[in-house]
A and B are shown apart, each in its own frame.
Chain A
Amino acid sequence: MDFTITEDQATLTGGVRDYLAGVHAPELLRALDASDSRRSADVWQGLTEMGLPGLLVPEAQGGLGLSLLDAVLIAAELGRAGVAEPLADTALVAAPLLSKVGGQEALLAAIAAGEAKVALQHPVNPWVADLDGASHLLSVEDGALLVAEHSGGTDLLDSVDPLRRLYVPIAPSGTAVGSADALLDHAALIAAAQLVGLADAMLEQATDYAKNRSQFGQPIGSFQAVKHHLATAVVKIEFAKPVIQRAAVALQEGAASAPVHVSHAKLAASDAAWAMSETAIQTHGAMGYTYEVDLHFWMKRAWALSGAWGDRAFHLSRIDAAVLGGALPIGPGHSFA
């Protein structure tokens, strides 16, 4: 029993954070927002050179062969930086799913090389993100997960998140590579991890603002009401993190209880990010209600991801079945069983 992040993991996470802080600062989000495609070949190229698409691709296919626990730590960094490119879906969701089945070595190698981008289509989501730029599509038919080559998008929808690219689903097709449930659980876990990263970034922005913005002759962060709003949000964020880590380990190990832990993680992270977004805008005051402050990019991504990959009702229903339904042993002594 050891519930710690290793030094290697901390080093990797810190490296990715520093890198993204340099190449994926808020100015980049604004530049993407001003572009037609909201995507940048240069940014993708940079992420690829950093080795990010291959993090979970097996070493034999040119990746780093990392685990889902590593994936959630990295996903949080993608959330923190507000990464808009479809890196999480391709590198952190599709890659580990494809690695579990045979015959996908060429696609995995292409993912690691940054040449393949995989869009994810699942019945739990009414829309598909980044279908237009994808080279491959994972889709679901009769509960089976299929993979196929793909090109082009259909109808682009307008998301509140200016950097999110949503499309109407297309007909499923391709080779079976797993189950619909596996896709759902992996994607919900990665969404949860991004949500805590988004929450951390919003906390940082709100805290900075509270330190610098003066009213009544002093920084607003010296007022207890403001302090308490932020402290309340920190508690929610920090207690969502171990839930996500616990879910990552369960899913990595293929534990029968993994779906309920993933649902717990998704709910905890969504609650934390949602609460943090409201706290952050309140801290920013009227400035937060403008497009001029960076906050809105993170806030809107949080709204989007908390509804995607199983909304609140969906994940509560899974907790209900397991906990109230009695399928999961609960109580003292069942922290991990």
Chain B
Amino acid sequence: MDLAYTTEQQAFRAEVRAWMEANVPQEPLVTLEREDGYHQHVEWERKLASGNWGMVTWPEAYGGRGLDLIQWLIFEEEYYRAGAPLRVNQNGIFLLGPTVMEFGTDEQKARFLTPMAKGEVIWAQAWSEPNAGSDMAAITTKAIRDGDHYVITGQKTWSSRASFADWGFGLFRTDPDSKRHKGLSFILFDLNSPGVTRRPIRQLHGDPGFAELFFDEVRVPVENRIAGEGEGWNVAMATAGFERGLMLRSPARFQAAAERLVKLFRQHEAKAAPAAREQVMQAWMDAQAYAYNTYAVASKIMAGGHIGAEASLNKIFWSELDRAAHRTAMQILGASAELRYLDGGALNTWLEGYIFSLSGPIYAGSNEIQRNIIAERLLGLPR
């Protein structure tokens, strides 16, 4: 174990820091869950890509930099340190990208990865259905083969980014007689295809960031399928692993939140409840613990190891620490916590953040599902 950064890693950090300081927008962007904010974030995504910072861990051939996971962690630290905007391309970066990299053909990689890295195509995920949320194997939306196309009919819901994004990816039942995990395929589709209707859903904060998708005989070329027909479940499970595991929630995000929480506490120390003091310290400790663990997992993967059901430990830890940290902030703000805009007209980012943090224990497999996975796969308890 060597916790010092190498000279090269330090030089890389300086390079990221310099670029971010010169390019991160001075004013905060409007939330990407609204149409105007979405377009601002797409613009930022393209600016990142212009500096070749869009997908730092991807191979250079697809618009990345070919960096290792420790460099990725350094990149993320500098990204959050600079206060850079959230990534509108998150589904592409952390979910679809790694999936196409692992399961896609060379042609699919060339076709989908490079535009993703350049911020030219923004992706929505289309997993859940009205009756298939945590029980994703219960999906019923059909994709029936018709020559060179699949014809998709059915409904997806809670599709992040789908109100405004360009393309979507999801699981569809390509064998209409199949049950549960079998007969599913992983298919990519253009959200502007004839027959796709998007109905934006107002989320808890009032903005329509995700959507219901209705498919009315939508024709999708067979070459948009990732991996074999009927192999979708395994592909989706790998994608879900990326989502729960290392890549989705970089520790820098929580370290930044803990740092802001400490500042908030100092401002309100005189009137804060005694328990708040300890909760603020706990937020810092948990953010640090998550960072150490992420570095440990990254080191393990770089040494040839794998992360399996352990990803569920990460998902529970980051989602619960995030919620606790934002709850603490709301309690410190007291009567002001309910205001959408605080003194001086600034957006109450703690309120926004608290609302968003409530989704963490639900999405990417609810924490109840994660606990079942830990109990059954890590502890070996009976199903």
Contact = CB atoms under 8 A, between A and B. Distances in A.
Interface of A: 1-6, 69, 203, 207, 210-211, 218-219, 221-222, 224, 226-228, 230-232, 234-235, 238-240, 242-243, 245-246, 249-250, 264, 267-268, 316, 319-320, 323-324, 330-336
16 contacts: A1-B9, A1-B295, A3-B296, A3-B299, A207-B381, A219-B381, A219-B382, A222-B383, A231-B375, A242-B292, A245-B292, A264-B289, A316-B278, A324-B277, A324-B281, A330-B259
Majority SS at the chain B contact face: helix
Contacts of B1: 2-6, 69, 245, 249
B70 interface: yes
B381 A210 contact: yes
Contacts of A250: 3
Contacts of A224: 368, 372
B238 interface: no
A211 B292 CA distance: 32
Interface of B: 1-6, 9, 13, 70, 73, 76-81, 251-253, 255-256, 258-259, 262, 265-266, 277-278, 280-281, 284-286, 288-293, 295-296, 298-300, 303, 310, 313, 316-317, 368, 370-372, 374-376, 378-383
Given A2-B299, A242-B296, A324-B280, A330 B262 contact: yes
Q: Nearest 5 A-B pairs (CB), nearest first?
A: A227-B375, A331-B259, A332-B252, A242-B292, A231-B371
Contacts of A235: 313, 316-317, 374
A249 B256 contact: no
A299 to B, nearest CB: 19
Contacts, number: 169
Given A3-B292, A228-B368, A240-B289, A330 B252 contact: no
Contacts of A3: 1, 3, 292, 295-296, 298-299
Contacts of A203: 379
Given A227-B375, A227-B381, A267-B285, A333 B2 contact: no
Nearest to B13: A333
B376 A227 contact: yes
Contacts of B285: 243, 264, 267-268, 319
B63 to A, nearest CB: 25
Given A210-B381, A235-B313, A335-B77, 18 more contacts: A1-B5, A1-B6, A2-B2, A221-B381, A226-B381, A231-B316, A231-B370, A234-B313, A240-B289, A242-B293, A245-B296, A249-B1, A264-B285, A268-B289, A320-B277, A324-B265, A332-B80, A335-B288
B13 to A, nearest CB: 7
A317 to B, nearest CB: 10
Contacts of A238: 293, 310, 313
Contacts of B286: 239
Contacts of A336: 3-5
Contacts of B317: 235, 239
A290 to B, nearest CB: 23
B281 A232 contact: no
Contact of A331 (B3, B255, B296, B374): B255
Nearest to A245: B1
Contacts of A207: 379-381
Nearest to B79: A332
Contacts of A335: 73, 77, 251, 255, 288, 291-292, 295
Contacts of A222: 381-383
Contact of A333 (B81, B368, B371): B81
Contacts of A324: 262, 265-266, 277, 280-281
A37 B252 CA distance: 52
Contacts of A210: 381
Given A228-B375, A242-B289, A333 B383 contact: no
A221 B284 CA distance: 34
Given A227-B372, A234-B374, A264 B303 contact: no
Contacts of B379: 203, 207, 221, 227, 230-231, 234
B255 A320 contact: no
Contacts of A268: 285, 289
A231 B374 contact: yes
A320 B3 contact: no
A201 to B, nearest CB: 14
A4 B2 CA distance: 8
A269 B27 CA distance: 41
